[in-house]
Amino acid sequence: MENTFKNSYGEWALVTGANSGIGKALAFEITKKGLNIVLVARRKPELEEVSNKIKKKYKVSTLVTSADLTEQNGINDVLP
């Protein structure tokens, strides 16, 4: 099923608010299916902790971006 999920949605997913609550839960559910993940939230230490747990448990790649998406500069930090 993971291959079907990757084929449908691609290799990477982006999750905002990934350091706690629903965002964190979504990050784990998505990586459980084998996708690499970009984790975004304001608090970088918590993001790094989530990233390390995900990499250890699911052996996927992660990128961590600390950004406040309520501000234009934060949005620009996430956009390529």
Q: Residue 77 contacts by C-beta under 8 Å, 6 or more apart in sequence?
A: 65, 66, 67
Region for 75 from its dihedrals, namely left if φ exceeds 0, alpha if ψ lies in -120 to 50, beta otherwise: alpha
| Position 1 pLDDT exceeds 60 | no
Q: At residue 5, does pLDDT exceed 90?
A: no
| pTM score | 0.87
Instruction: Give kind and range of the element (H or E) at residue 44.
Output: helix 44-58
**Domain boundaries along the sequence of the chain:** 2-66
Q: Which residue has the higher pLDDT, 51 or 76?
A: 51
The fold adopted by the segment(s) 2-66 is Rossmann fold (3.40.50)
Q: What is the pLDDT of residues 21-74, one digit of tens each?
A: 999 999 999 999 999 999 999 999 999 999 999 999 999 999 999 999 888 888
Give CA 4 to chain center in angstroms.
Answer: 20
